[in-house]
Amino acid sequence: MSDTAPLILGIESSCDETGVALVQSHGGPVPRLLSHALYSQIEMHQAYGGVVPELASRDHIRRVLPLTSQVMQEAGKTLKDIDVVAYTRGPGLAGALLVGAGVACALGAALGKPVLGVHHLEGHLLSPFLSADPPEFPFVALLVSGGHTQLMRVDGVGRYEILGETIDDAAGEAFDKSAKLMGLGYPGGPALARLAEQGDGAAFKLPRPLLHSGNLDFSFAGLKTAVLTQAQKISAVRAEPVEAWPVNVLADLAASTQAAIVEVLVKKSLVALEQTGMKRLVVAGGVGANRLLRAQLNAQCQKLKVRVHYPELHLCTDNGAMIAMAAAMRLQAGCQQANRNYAFDVLPRWPLDAITV
Return d(Cα 324, Cα 316) in angstroms, integer: 15
| Residue 356 pLDDT grade (very low, low, confident, very high; cuts 50, 70, 90) | low
Residue 142 lies inside a defined structural domain of this protein: yes
The range of the structural domain enclosing residue 260 comes to: 136-310
Pair (54, 140) in one structural domain: no
Full-model pTM: 0.95
Quick: pLDDT tens for 255-272. Answer: 999 999 999 999 999 999
Pair (174, 279) in one structural domain: yes
Flag the least confident range among 61-75, 82-96, 158-172, 341-355. Answer: 341-355
Residue 252 φ/ψ region, left for φ over 0, alpha for ψ in the -120 to 50 degree band, beta for the rest: alpha
Structural domains counted in the chain:
2
Kindly state the percentage of the chain with pLDDT values over 70: 98
Residue 258 lies inside a defined structural domain of this protein: yes
Distances from the Cα of 146 to the Cα of 171, 188, 249, 292, 333, angstroms: 8, 12, 27, 18, 28
Pair (192, 283) in one structural domain: yes
pLDDT score of 3: 47
Residue 347 lies inside a defined structural domain of this protein: yes
Return d(Cα 344, Cα 332) in angstroms, integer: 23
Pair (108, 209) in one structural domain: no
What CATH number corresponds to the domain at position 107?
A: 3.30.420.40
Pair (91, 18) in one structural domain: yes
Pair (163, 268) in one structural domain: yes
Residue 2 lies inside a defined structural domain of this protein: no
Pair (12, 83) in one structural domain: yes
Pair (202, 297) in one structural domain: yes
Residue 77 lies inside a defined structural domain of this protein: yes
Residue 321 lies inside a defined structural domain of this protein: yes
Phi, psi (deg, nearest 5) at residue 186: -120, 140
| Residue 354 pLDDT grade (very low, low, confident, very high; cuts 50, 70, 90) | confident
CA 271 to chain CA centroid, nearest Å = 22
| Residue 27 pLDDT grade (very low, low, confident, very high; cuts 50, 70, 90) | low
Pair (207, 116) in one structural domain: no
Amino acid at 23: V
Greater model confidence, 216 or 27: 216
Quick: pLDDT tens for 132-180. Answer: 999 999 999 999 988 899 999 999 999 999 999 999 999 999 999 999 9
Residue 271 lies inside a defined structural domain of this protein: yes
Residue 1 lies inside a defined structural domain of this protein: no
Pair (110, 231) in one structural domain: no
> Over 276-339, what HEC string results?
HCCCEEEEECHHHHCHHHHHHHHHHHHHCCCEEECCCHHHCCCCHHHHHHHHHHHHHHCCCCCE
Pair (118, 148) in one structural domain: no
Pair (252, 147) in one structural domain: yes
Quick: pLDDT tens for 193-234. Answer: 999 999 999 999 999 999 999 999 999 999 999 999 999 999
**308 and 283 in contact (C-beta within 8 Å)?**
yes
Return d(Cα 170, Cα 176) in angstroms, integer: 10
Question: Is residue 8 pLDDT above 50, yes or no?
Answer: yes
Q: Which of 63, 78, 61 is nearest to 22 (CA)?
A: 78
